[in-house]
Amino acid sequence: MKFHHPNKKSASFDLTPLIDIVFQLLIFFMVTTTFVNLENRVKINLPSGDFAAVEPSKNITVTITEDNTIYLNGKLIDPLKITESIAIELKKEPEKIVVLEADKNVLHGKVISVMDLLKKGGADKIAIATKPTEKK
């Protein structure tokens, strides 16, 4: 026989607010994450990675091919003119993000030197494009 004390209340947890917050966070991350369209005008083999990126129509694309050829928005560009070309593009629309697409076989030093040239041209936001990793 169990005796219950009249002033004693049983402890219980209401999980509804917790579940509500989890769904709100899930919706927030789904809405704020955008993905880059990987249909490149210049054919390169991007490295793999699980990163979110930006919408291609709202950015400036700089592509480095395996043979170290550099393209700006799909057009061949002289490496010595990258800084001034980026500055001109960013003057038109300063809020644009520069997406750097480098073939996975391009040397790390080359990517860093191009990033430095982009920074000198005024690119504050530089995103590095990757292709999604394949799930096994």
The pLDDT assigned to 54 comes to 46
pLDDT tens digits for 120-131? 888 888 888 777
Per the confidence metrics, is the pTM higher than 0.75? no
The pLDDT assigned to 136 comes to 54
Q: SS3 sequence, 93-122?
A: CCCCEEEEEECCCCCHHHHHHHHHHHHHCC
The pLDDT assigned to 76 comes to 86
Task: Please report, for the chain, the start and end positions of each structural domain, with discontinuous segments joined by +.
Answer: 56-128
Distance between CA atoms of residues 117 and 32, nearest Å: 29
The class that CATH gives domain 56-128 is alpha beta
pLDDT tens digits for 103-114? 888 888 888 888
Model confidence band, residue 40 (pLDDT cutoffs 50, 70, 90): very low
- In percent, the amount of the chain with pLDDT more than 70 equals 71
Q: Please tell me what DSSP assigns to residue 75.
A: E
The pLDDT assigned to 89 comes to 84
Distance between CA atoms of residues 90 and 107, nearest Å: 27
Q: What is the mean pLDDT of the chain?
A: 77
| Alpha helices in the chain, H assignment, sequence order | 16-32, 82-92, 108-120
